[in-house]
Amino acid sequence: MTKPVYQRVLLKISGEALSGGKGSGLDFEMIGNVCDVIKECLDMGVQVGLVVGGGNFWRGAKNSGGKMERTRADHMGMLATVMNCLAVADVCEQKGIPVRVQTAIEMRAVAEPYIRSRAIRHLEKGRVVIFGAGTGNPYFSTDTAAVLRAAEIGADVILLAKNVDGVYSADPVKDPNAVKYDTISYDDVLAQHLMVMDSTATSLSMDNHIPVLLFALKDPRNIIRALCGEKVGTIVGE
């Protein structure tokens, strides 16, 4: 077995990825495949924190279309992430993977509240910790939540699993001349307004020197490849 190059990782999976490319709802085959790979990560001795998005159910600003007060619409988005957390946790348990869900907004009947020291204890005991409800604040994204939790738990890297296979100079769907970067600096991502993740998430990872590895979740084994230092996707770093 190839040796992992990271000890503790923060994996971010968008809601759309959990829908298996359908855009909405949950694709349990996809979730099952992701959980199998997470189990492999644990078996390699890697500690895994997971942040899931909620875009397969609700995105505050987009889905409310200006017909709701933004904060309340974002609360709905954060609740959507918790639904995804529960689905992923359930599949983890079915596969015998020890898992805990912690939410940034307290809902004790459903999950543990987010407590950093407890999250770290779970990780050290080999449990997957799924962080729900984003940052707990409106006007933020789950990408930013991923960077925040990565900083708090001292993750070596953020594995950003998306529906694109890397960072491109332009939108590869619209521009046939778009080139994919193997590596790119935070500064260039910000200066060129590249849509890797939102600028809040990019600047938070830059300020805290946490590398972000962006790759396609379409093949969940990319997670293992990324862990073992193989070249997949794009690394955003110093």
Query: Annotated binding site for UMP: which residue ranges?
Result: 54, 74, 135-142
The alpha carbon of residue 52 and the mean position of all alpha carbons in its chain are separated, in whole angstroms, by 5
- Contact predicate 123/139, CB 8 Å: no
Please identify, using beta-carbon distances, which residue of 4 and 55 lies nearer to ligand UDP.
55
The Cα–Cα gap between 137 and 139 comes to 7
Q: Does position 132 bind ligand UDP by CB under 6 A?
A: no
The Cα–Cα gap between 75 and 62 comes to 13
Query: Could you give the string, one character per residue 62-81, with x where binding to ligand UDP holds by CB under 6 A and - elsewhere?
Result: ------------x--xx-xx
Please identify, using beta-carbon distances, which residue of 4 and 197 lies nearer to ligand UDP.
197
Of 6, 10, 11, 16, the one binding ligand UDP (CB under 6 A) is 16
Residue nearest to ligand UDP (CB): 53
Q: What is the residue type of 175?
A: D
User: Sign (positive/negative) of CA torsion 173, 24, 29, 90?
Assistant: positive
Nearest approach, Cβ of residue 184 and ligand UDP (Å) = 20
Q: Which residue has the tokens 């924190």?
A: 49
Q: What is the DSSP code string of 76-98?
A: HHHHHHHHHHHHHHHHHHHTT--
Please identify, using beta-carbon distances, which residue of 134 and 233 lies nearer to ligand UDP.
134
Q: Which residues form the interface with ligand UDP (CB under 6 A)?
A: 14-16, 53-55, 59-60, 74, 77-78, 80-81, 134-135, 137-138, 140-143, 145
